[in-house]
Amino acid sequence: MVQSSEELLARIQSNFEPQPLPAGDPLYVDCTEVRGDVDICLEFRRSITRATKTQCRLYTGHRGAGKSTELLRLCKKFEDEEFFVVYFNADDADLNTEDTEYSDILLACTRHLLEELEDYANPNPVIDWLKSRWTALQDLGLSEVELDKMGAEVSISTFAKLTASVRQVPNVRQKIRQEVDNHTPTLIQVLNEYVGEAREKLSNKFKGIVMVVDSLDRIVPIFDVETSRSNHDRIFLDRHEQLKALACHVVYTIPISMVQSDRATSLFNCYSFPNILPMVMVKTRDGKPYPSGIAKMKEVIEKRVQKADRALSLDKLFEESEDLERLCSISGGHVRDLIFMMQEVINGTENLPIGSKAVNRAIAKLRDLYRLNVNDGEWIFLAKVHLCKMMPNTNEHRKLLLSRCILEYKPGENDPVWYDVHPTILSLPEFEEALTRAKPKEL
């Protein structure tokens, strides 16, 4: 049958998925030049391939900006350069508690290293370590914990099962944690022995082992009023020694708000400078459209549209070319927001071409989301950030950075970063009102 508009729309829509792209995906658009010229692949590879000792690097950026996509590319490049790569996405099997602590991350790393390096080293020292913890816990009288399976046949998979099941028993969790915490140095020690052995075995084929821990930025921030600190502080700042202590190269993804915290300087000192993936710069610091950034965003759309129909050009897809421009600029250079808007545009479109009504609907949806994320007292902060393009280092501002109400831009490798509010916010009445309050009064 003649390809109906409906079928084509469904196919176009299916190319606008919010998930990260695997390495080598033809839909990938290289935005390096409009993201402050920072190519994390290049930089990490340089630092790790040239390193004489193990490297620990931090990586961050706004949620949905393309971090995982870049990390997956990085892993591929490392593999091409003959590194043994252990990539994992910290998910609920690793961090399934509402109060994630450092020890959860360490146990997650342990589990994944055990699974991936199983064929190259003897896991017994690590298993033994775990067994002795269990004995100690038994002595504490924690009979809820299933210990029957801890026989000689203990395998790596039961390690995973046991750590998981233990963490699901809330009143035991704290005691387990304490026990693990007290013995962190010995765990790191046996784990490093294990990794060292694997590295040795792999050395004829691989230059080294790189572990990439993605999604640690997904730990929901929980703020402790008494200490005025968050769980993010406790994990990434207080435990930097341990996070760095593993005997392989490690890349951790951390929440973007961490880079702004009071102790950012010490964070830098501890880890060397974190790599930040900024927004695609769709406008300049003084608010003028930035054509090459807009062009990149158009390319993101174009590739995904043309995967569905190679002959379909963007000026045929949109009734008004101005609508396409608007979508690109109001995304603020945030790729997932652009993708979400395209989804909504197509949801609002019965027949091609896409008209202004559908575009307006999509923009309104996104704008409403940002409005919902701002509390009453926060509009004034946003207004000030917009006026001075700077971000004061406070908890309130960090929260707004984390929820993408404030976005970070970087024009070139050696240029300073600047901040602005998400473009959808600019036309909200609450913001406009705050702006008049924030502006210095004319004499």
Partner 1 sequence: MNTPARNWRIRLDEASEDEYNALLRALRRKNGFGLYFVRCSPATGREIFQHIKRDLSIKNTELLQLEKSVDNLYTRIQNLPTLKTLKILFIEGIEKSLTDYIKPGYGGQGDYYKEDSVPRVLNNLNLQRERFQTSFKFLIVFLVPEFAFKYFTRRAPDFFDWRLGIFEFKEDNSFELIPQRTTLSGDSLLLLERYEEAISSYDQAIKYKPDKHEAWNNRGIALDKLGRYEEAISSYDQAIKYKPDLHEAWYNRGNALDELGRYEEAISSYDQAIKYKPDYHEAWYNMACCYALQGKVPQVIQSLNQAITMNPNRYLNLLKTDSDFDVVRQDERFQVFLREMFERYPEFA
Among 157, 249, 242, CA closest to 199: 249
Distance (Å, whole) CA 245 – CA 223: 27
Which of 55, 60, 89, 163 is in the footprint of partner 1 by CB under 8 A?
Answer: 89
Q: At closest approach, how far in Å is the CB of 63 from partner 1?
A: 6
Distance (Å, whole) CA 371 – CA 405: 9
Which of 403, 410, 421, 422 is in the footprint of partner 1 by CB under 8 A?
Answer: 403
Which of 24, 26, 50, 98 is in the footprint of partner 1 by CB under 8 A?
Answer: 98
Q: At closest approach, how far in Å is the CB of 92 from partner 1?
A: 4
Contact 296, 29 (CB under 8 A): yes
Contacting range for partner 1; rule: CB under 8 A; set: 187-195, 272-280, 381-389, 397-405: 397-405
Cα dist from 71 to 24, 85, 211, 219, 404, whole Å = 12, 11, 11, 18, 21
CB-CB neighbours of 204 under 10 Å: 6
Contact between 341 and partner 1 by CB under 8 A: the answer reads no
Contact between 1 and partner 1 by CB under 8 A: the answer reads yes
Contact between 18 and partner 1 by CB under 8 A: the answer reads yes
Bridge partners, 87 (sequence order):
212
Give the list of residues 6+ apart from residue 4 with CB closer than 8 angstroms, or none: none
Which of 101, 323, 344, 420 is in the footprint of partner 1 by CB under 8 A?
Answer: 344
Contact between 95 and partner 1 by CB under 8 A: the answer reads yes
Contact between 355 and partner 1 by CB under 8 A: the answer reads no
Which of 74, 86, 90, 383 is in the footprint of partner 1 by CB under 8 A?
Answer: 90
Handedness of CA 112, 115, 118, 120 (dihedral sign): negative
Q: At closest approach, how far in Å is the CB of 385 from partner 1?
A: 18
Show contacts with partner 1 in window 210-229 (CB under 8 A).
215, 218, 220-225
Which of 22, 348, 353, 355 is in the footprint of partner 1 by CB under 8 A?
Answer: 348
Contacting range for partner 1; rule: CB under 8 A; set: 71-79, 113-121, 371-379, 430-438: 371-379
Q: Which residue has the tokens 């421009």?
A: 325
Contacting range for partner 1; rule: CB under 8 A; set: 118-126, 205-213, 309-317, 395-403: 395-403
Which of 30, 91, 146, 413 is in the footprint of partner 1 by CB under 8 A?
Answer: 91
Bridge partners, 407 (sequence order):
420
Q: At closest approach, how far in Å is the CB of 365 from partner 1?
A: 6
Bridge partners, 57 (sequence order):
251
Which of 343, 389, 417, 426 is in the footprint of partner 1 by CB under 8 A?
Answer: 343
Nearer to partner 1, 94 or 101 (CB): 94
Nearer to partner 1, 64 or 125 (CB): 64
Distance (Å, whole) CA 404 – CA 382: 11
Contact between 96 and partner 1 by CB under 8 A: the answer reads yes
Residue 96, CB-side half-sphere exposure with 13 Å CA sphere: 13
Q: At closest approach, how far in Å is the CB of 290 from partner 1?
A: 25
Contacting range for partner 1; rule: CB under 8 A; set: 34-42, 150-158, 276-284, 341-349: 341-349
Cα dist from 387 to 222, 245, 317, 392, 440, whole Å = 30, 43, 36, 12, 10
Cα dist from 165 to 17, 182, 191, whole Å = 33, 20, 21
Which of 13, 15, 47, 189 is in the footprint of partner 1 by CB under 8 A?
Answer: 13
Among 427, 443, 369, CA closest to 435: 427
Distance (Å, whole) CA 94 – CA 80: 28
- Count helices and strands in the chain by DSSP H and E runs: 20, 9
Q: At closest approach, how far in Å is the CB of 195 from partner 1?
A: 25
Contact between 7 and partner 1 by CB under 8 A: the answer reads yes
Interface with partner 1 by CB under 8 A: which residues?
1-2, 4-7, 9-10, 13-14, 18-19, 63-64, 89-98, 215, 218, 220-225, 336, 340, 343-344, 346-351, 361, 365, 369, 372-373, 375-376, 399, 402-403
